[in-house]
Amino acid sequence: MSSISADISSLTKSSEPYTARASIVDGVVDNSTTTLTGDRTSSLFNAASKELGKDDFLTLLVTQMRYQDPLNPMENTEFVSQLAQFRALENSANIEAAIGKLDDSFKGTITAQQYTAQSISNTAAVSLIGKDVRLRQVTVNWTAKAGEQVPIRVHLGNSASATVELVNADGEVVKTMKATGKDSQNSVELTWDGTTDAGTVAKSGSYRIHIIGEEKDSSLYSFVQDVVDGVRFSVEGALIKVDGKELSIGSVLDVSTGAGGVTDGVSPSTAVSLLGKSVRVRESTVKFQAAENEVHNISINAPAGSTVRVNITDSKGKVVYYQNVKADSKGVAEFSWNGETVSGQIAPAATYTIAIPDAKSNPYIYAYSEGRIDGVSNISGGAQLRYKGKTISMSDILDISVSS
């Protein structure tokens, strides 16, 4: 009979002594002689539910080799098998560590991209301050006050007309309107006085704007247009301030320089260099003041010898006056309007649009005026050019020449 004793306290990483002693008779462990010493309520036994790491596996393998039965040593195949298991465990641990590092690197890249995208969005939002923006409008509010008029602006795109429906909270169409006579921006402005199709007055509340066909034609939409007053940065992203509201920059459909007439990035020195220069400026509106003997002279650029129709339309796109003009051999036609309407009366003071139907198919047909740049203002905040008493944008200038 021989006995083998092994002290495994080193495996527990504890100061408590753990000893296992057993007797082997003819190569078989005699359970009746097996003894265990030490407290089995903590340390090794409490940690038994934990997964073994590669260091623990190696310690067990070395201990097994050290205390194997010299009369019945471990078979080579079994030893090689355990070494293979150890190698597999090592590779698994290395792969897990590599994946962990890759995950950290990926998270860092995503975070950097998010910061970059946020920075770009913030910069774009700041650049909108002072610009006219067009925002999609999906609802209109009606307060049921006497004399109230609610404007609704509709973009028609390539469509000549569209049917606009106002829908209540129950999904019922309470008002149907026809949008026709679009302006040069392919838009029509409607006015709702609160009446329904049944002839009654609608209840106060919010009504959804639905344009028939908008589901298939993205150019059909209702919108509001105003100047961006400021920007606020939030955790949700940059919000632009328009007409007392804070809206996401993603709501913007269109951006223009607005009434300020900023020269589209032209430096102050370049703007100053234009002083006194003769320019040809695109004209799209006429500001009629209904003054005595008031006359507006407008030139039309068109193919030589061609005849084009020029319409003067109001804010609703209605033609108040029109005239057919013929271009001379240089491609210039003269047009004058003294405020007279098609009915022979004088139009009320307002800003009217110069609309040339043929201009939609030919970009070389346009209304213009000629004169000199007589001033530059607001240089520190963005150069503005003064022309005939009004500020203009650099994009409105069609031609520049030295004054004679």
The CATH number given to whatever domain includes residue 272 is 2.60.40.4070
What dihedral do alpha carbons 348, 351, 355, 359 form, nearest 10°? 160
- pLDDT for residue 7 is more than 50: no
Please tell me the predicted confidence (pLDDT) of residue 251.
73
Instruction: Give a yes or no: residue 244 inside a domain.
Output: yes
Mean pLDDT of the chain: 76
Q: 46-81: buried (b, 16+ CB within 10 Å) or exposed (e) per residue?
A: eeeeeeeeeeeeeeeeeeeeeeeeeeeeeeeeeeee
Backbone CA torsion sign across 159, 131, 262, 389: positive
Q: For the ranges 35-39, 216-220, 224-228, which has the lowest average pLDDT? A: 35-39
Same domain for 164 and 69, yes or no, is no
Same domain for 249 and 299, yes or no, is no
CB 227 within 8 A of CB 258: yes
pTM exceeds cut of 0.75 = no
| pLDDT tens per residue across span 56-77 | 666 766 776 676 666 666 665 6
Backbone CA torsion sign across 249, 251, 255, 260: negative
| pLDDT tens per residue across span 234-271 | 666 677 777 777 777 777 777 765 544 343 445 566 67
CB 284 within 8 A of CB 356: no
The residue among 45 and 356 whose pLDDT is bigger is 356
Same domain for 288 and 345, yes or no, is yes
Give the domain range for residue 160. Answer: 132-256
- pLDDT for residue 2 is more than 60: no
Same domain for 326 and 248, yes or no, is no
Q: Where are the alpha helices (DSSP H) in 168-309?
A: 268-273
- In which element (H, E) is residue 163 found? strand 162-167
Phi, psi angle pair for 327, to nearest 5° = -80, 145
| pLDDT tens per residue across span 353-372 | 999 999 888 888 999 988 88
Same domain for 248 and 327, yes or no, is no
**SS3 for 306?**
coil
Angle in degrees, 0-180, between the axes of helices 76-127 and 54-66, rounded to the nearest 10: 170
Please tell me the predicted confidence (pLDDT) of residue 11.
45
- Choose one of 49, 74, 99: the last residue of a domain: 74
Where are the extended beta strands (E) located within 200-318? 205-211, 221-234, 237-242, 245-248, 252-256, 278-282, 285-288, 296-301, 307-313
Same domain for 178 and 59, yes or no, is no
Alpha-carbon distances, residue 255 vs 122, 131, 226 (angstroms) = 16, 7, 10
